Structure 1
Amino acid sequence: MFIRNERSIKEFMQYYPIVFTVVVINLFLWLIRNLLGLQIGWDIYQWGIGSNFLIEMGEYWRLVTPIFLHADLMHVLFNSFSLVLFGPALEQMLGKYKFLLAYLGTGIIANIATYFLEPLSYVHLGASGAVFGLFGIYAFMAFFRKSLIDHGSSQIVITILGISLLMTFMRSNINVYAHLFGLIGGLAIAPLILSKVEPYSPWRNIRRSRYKEDDSIQFDPNRWNNKRRIPTALRKNIFWIILGILVIFGLLSRL
């Protein structure tokens, strides 16, 4: 469910336009401020960073804009990595508009909680609430809608979520309320947005685009679950792949 099978960036953009667009925005905004040092980049950050004091003064757009702003290179790369890893399956299942609503909605819920529960002097940025919102939706599937997620993916989600919550309380400079309320927001909206959705299929996009002109091509719907279809090297190293994801999550969790 979380292993990508797209052959190019173009295919990824075609299949998951919301995930692709958000990642591009994240990287672009970080680049123009931090790498290129352009004044417009600094102006955008000053205009959009989450500031409880300025929200109190009526600048309510700051409940949304921090979702797309990041501090250092590791911050933006990790958030983008998380979205590329966990976003596509949900975007396919929910559709573009419901996925965008879920991503922004949980991020806004997290920022609202930050506003009410942190002091007025508190300043923050990053997509932590939105990322944990996605985890919340997956967690709901793992516990209450098991038909929508395979057992292996469910174990991966619960393991990473558990470690992420642990790291939330162990590391400094973490917006704890954003993590917790992003997760709660995902759990809360999941029953609404998961109605009438189909389980994720890595072959659905291929059937609709790559081979849409050849009706003679048939696909086995169970091929993704058939171990003989998975490359031997991947099966042998799947533990290390998952472990690497968890290590990266722990080291770079400056969400």
Structure 2
Amino acid sequence: MFIRTERSVKEFFQLYPVVTIIVGINILFWFIIDFLNLRIGNEIRFYGIGINAAIAAGEWWRLITPVFLHAGAMHMLFNSFSLVLFGPALEQMLGKIKFILAYLGTAVTANVIIYLIESPNYAHLGASGAIFGLFGIYVYMSIFRKDLIDQSSIQIVGVIVAIGLVMTFLRSNISILGHLFGLFSGFIYAPLLLAGVKSYSPWARPRPRKRKYADDDNGPQFDPDRWNKKRKMPEVIRKNMLWIVVGIIAVLWLLGQANIL
């Protein structure tokens, strides 16, 4: 489920538009705020960070906007990479609307818990709550909906969640409540989100229209769909898929930036 088989960015966008747009927003805000350091970027950051005192004063949008802001390039790249890796299968399975609800719903739930428990001066930003929300859905699938997930993906989810929880408590400047309640809310919302869904298929690609020719009934047939036929995953990748994914995620996790200000 987590090995990308798309052959281009265009194809990835056609298959997973929501994931692509969210990643694009993450990159755009980082580019404006941190890379270009524009004045408008400073305004976006000032009014977008999740600050409990400001939320209490009625600035409710701060429960949502921190999901698209990040503390530096590595923090943005880590969360965006995690979304590219773990988001496509869920977007295909849930559909665009339910995937948006899952991504934002788990993040907002975690941010509400942060608002209710942490001090008024507490400030945070980052998409970690949403990413852990996706993990929570996968954990639910691994336990209660094994018809939707293969065994190797269950192993990957288990290892990734374990690493994530360990790093949550070992590293400083991490929103522990954001991670824990993002994961928990994804697990809780999963039964509703997964109702009636079908398992993920990495080969579900848009196919070109077949052309009909008036004079080709008796001649050699050209199959315009031949390049979209299933391809077998290379044996070396299939056998080492777990360790490839775990290694990449572990490295990015260690390099990830803090999400508490």
TM-score in terms of structure 2 length: 0.89
1:172 is aligned to 2:175: no
Tell which structure's C-alpha radius of gyration is larger: 2
2:106 touches 2:130 (CA, 8 Å); kept in 1? yes
| Unaligned segments of structure 1, at least 5 residues | none
Alignment counterpart, residue 213 of structure 1, candidates 210, 215, 238: 210
Call closer, same or farther: CA 1:239–1:133 in 2, change over 3 Å.
closer
**Partner of 1:234 in structure 2?**
237
**1:235 Cα shift?**
3.6
Conserved in 2, the CA contact under 8 Å of 1:164 and 1:249?
A: no
* Closer/same/farther in 2, CA of residues 121 and 211 from structure 1, 3 Å limit: same
Deviations 1:222-255 (A, max 9, x none): x78xxxx221342454354134224224303445
Answering whether residue 8 of structure 2 is matched by residue 8 of structure 1, we say: yes
Note the alpha carbon deviations across 1:137-156, whole angstroms, 9 max, x for none. Answer: 00000000000000000110
- Once residues 83 and 211 of structure 2 are traced to their aligned partners in structure 1, the CA distance between those partners, rounded to angstroms, is 32
Kept after mapping to 1: 8 A contact 2:103/2:131: yes
Counterpart of 1:61?
A: 61
In structure 1, the partner of 2:131 is: 131
Q: Quick check: 23-32 or 242-251, which moved more?
A: 242-251
Could you tell me the percent identity over the aligned residues? Answer: 55
Mapped to 1, the partners of 2:233 and 2:169 lie a distance apart of 37
Would the aligned equivalents of 2:70 and 2:125 in 1 still touch at CA under 8 Å?
A: yes
Identify if the C-alpha distance between structure 1 residues 247 and 201 changes in structure 2 by more than 3 Å, giving closer, same or farther.
same
Q: 5 Å matches for 1:26-65?
A: 26-65=26-65
Q: How does 1:34-183 map to 2 (within 5 A)?
A: 34-183=34-183
Q: How many residues are aligned here?
A: 247
- Show structure 2 runs of 5+ residues with no match: 213-222
SS at match of 1:37: coil
Q: Which amino acid in the other structure matches residue 154 of structure 2?
A: S
Correspondence 1:248 to 2:241: no
- Structure (1/2) with the larger helix percentage: 1
Amino acid aligned to 1:164: G
- Tell me the amino acid that sits aligned with residue 138 of structure 1: Y
Q: Which residue of 1 aligns with 2:200?
A: 200
2:131 and 2:182 in contact (8 A); partners too = yes
The C-alpha deviation readout for 1:166-216, integer Å capped at 9, x for no partner, is 111111000000001101110111000100000000112x2xx13453797
Whole-angstrom distance in 2 between the partners of 1:212 and 1:86: 30
Structural RMSD (CA):
2.2
With normalisation by structure 1, the TM-score equals 0.91
